[in-house]
Amino acid sequence: MSENATPDPYANPLVFGQRLQILRTRKGMTRDQLGGLVGKSGSWVKGVETGRLGTPKLEMILQIAEVLRVRDLADLTGGPSMQVHLFSGPGHPRLAAVRAAVDAFPVATQREAPSAAHLQARLARAWSARHSAPNHREVIGSLLPNLIGDAQLAVRQAESGPQRRAAQAVLAEVYSLAQFFVAYQPDAALLWRVAERGLVAAQESEHPHAIGVAAWLATQAHRDAGPGHFDAADTVNLDTLAYLEPLLPDASDDVLAITGALTFEAGYTAARRGETGTAWRYWDQARAMAERLPETYYHPVTSFSKAIMGAHAVTVAVELHQGGESVRQAAAADAVTIPSRPRRARHRIEEARGYQLDGQPDVALATLNQAHEAAPETIKYNGYAKRIVLEEAESKSSARRRRASELAVKLGLLAA
């Protein structure tokens, strides 16, 4: 190239700062927002992006990957693929069958659809199996293809308005179950198809509980897409609360519970934004709703109950980066048993995040082992857990490195 020619901006590989700027911009996040979420300033982010500051250490790279939902650390570092997929786990063996069932369009069949009551009984068994099985993805992945097909068929064959609305309510809940399976797997488009179809089916059902559950899951999908989608999460969440709250004086336990779950979700999103007062205010409101539920009540989809509020308090404190408060809340919540194995594992992961924030990495690793014992398929697909393990595998303490490495093997992080 002559000295007068226009330089090729792609002649050299992108450096870390350039990659960071591209990924941050793609997520619709400002430098100040990213900096605040990783405990740095906006000027620090600018320094890294412009090359004034060097590439951060692995611990900070993993925090950035967590915030930006980077699937492969190579997207940030430009190095060889590490196959970490922090927030998108490995594709489950049953993913293809579930995807095929979601994508099917049963317009021509001579088979008679099961009744809505029959499908509802199968759903109840599926939710029960999900809560009790350590390999819950395998369990519900085996049930979903037939459930999806039968529920779609029931809607198509409904002969009256009430029958069709009842079938749509069941179909919406089937899609809710499917969203638990599809979440954190390498098919974001499938996740959104499931979430959107669940919302449509719930609206068609005109059933408050079905509408609440679909909105609860859509809120999570928007929030997990990153800060640029927090407003969308709030819109779905708060609009649905406005619809449900007038129904509460005469509501069933299930409708009260989904309203409480949505109330907490509003606090969860506020915590992600760093809005401390708003986050705890919503948590207080959700706790008041939980207190109105029977002592042994446990919502089959959201796990909302009296027993879950302590776990929710840990989550709020962790998202607000309040290490000491999260540990205090974890100690208070630990006396309560969470019936659902995957939800119990999720709580242990949140506790581990709190212990790491509080400077107790050894306790964090021990708590992650407890999460693995409760539900291996929960921790395997959880990006927060994987980040902690990878960070501690670089620890200066040989004993801690060994414990982290052993857990990394259990999670499949070292697989090629």
318 belongs to a structural domain: no
Q: Residue 230: inside a domain, yes or no?
A: no
Give per-residue pLDDT as tens, 102-154. Answer: 998 777 667 888 998 999 999 999 999 999 999 999 999 999 999 999 999 99
Domain match, 67 and 107 both = no
pTM of structure: 0.82
The torsion region of residue 397 among left (phi > 0), alpha (psi -120 to 50) and beta comes to: beta
> Are 58 and 155 part of one and the same domain?
no
In a domain, 197, yes or no: yes
Are 22 and 98 members of one domain?
no
H or E element: which one contains 294?
none
- Please tell me whether residues 68 and 99 are part of one structural domain: no
Cα-based distances in Å from 48 to 30, 57, 60, 268 = 14, 12, 12, 29
Is 52 in the same domain as 135? Answer: no
* Residue 68 sits in the same domain as residue 117: no
What is the C-alpha separation between 85 and 380, in angstroms, rounded?
A: 11
114: in domain: yes
Residue 142 and residue 99 share a domain? yes
Most confident of 2-16, 182-196, 229-243: 229-243
The reply to whether 69 and 130 lie within a common domain is no
Last residue of a domain, one of 184, 206, 228: 206
Residue 13 confidence class, pLDDT cut points 50, 70, 90: low
Number of domains in the chain: 2
Please name the residue that has the structure tokens 């068994």. 125
The answer to whether residues 95 and 202 belong to one domain is yes
In a domain, 395, yes or no: no
- In the listed set 156, 179, 206, which residue is the last one of a domain according to the structure? 206
Domain end: 77, 102, 130, which one? Answer: 77
Residue 317: closest CA among 284, 281, 279, 361: 279
Domain membership of residue 130 as a residue range: 91-206
Q: Looking at the structure, do residues 73 and 95 belong to the same domain, yes or no?
A: no
Do residue 73 and residue 99 come from a single domain?
no
CATH code: domain of residue 44: 1.10.260.40
Mean pLDDT of 179-195: 91
Q: What is the spatial distance between Cα 263 and Cα 255, in angstroms, rounded to a whole number?
A: 12
- Of 14-18, 32-36, 333-337, the one with minimum mean pLDDT is 333-337
- What pLDDT, in 10s, does the model give residues 216-244? 999 999 998 888 889 999 999 999 999 99
Give start and end residues of each alpha helix (H) in 158-252: 161-182, 188-205, 208-224, 230-244
CA distance 412 to 416: 9
Question: Quick check: 23 pLDDT over 60?
Answer: yes
d(CA 86, CA 76): 13
Using CA atoms, how far apart are residues 76 and 206, in angstroms rounded to an integer? 45
- What are 257's two structure tokens? 């519970």
Do 108 and 29 share a structural domain?
no
For 209, the token pair is 């509980």
In-domain check, residue 331: no
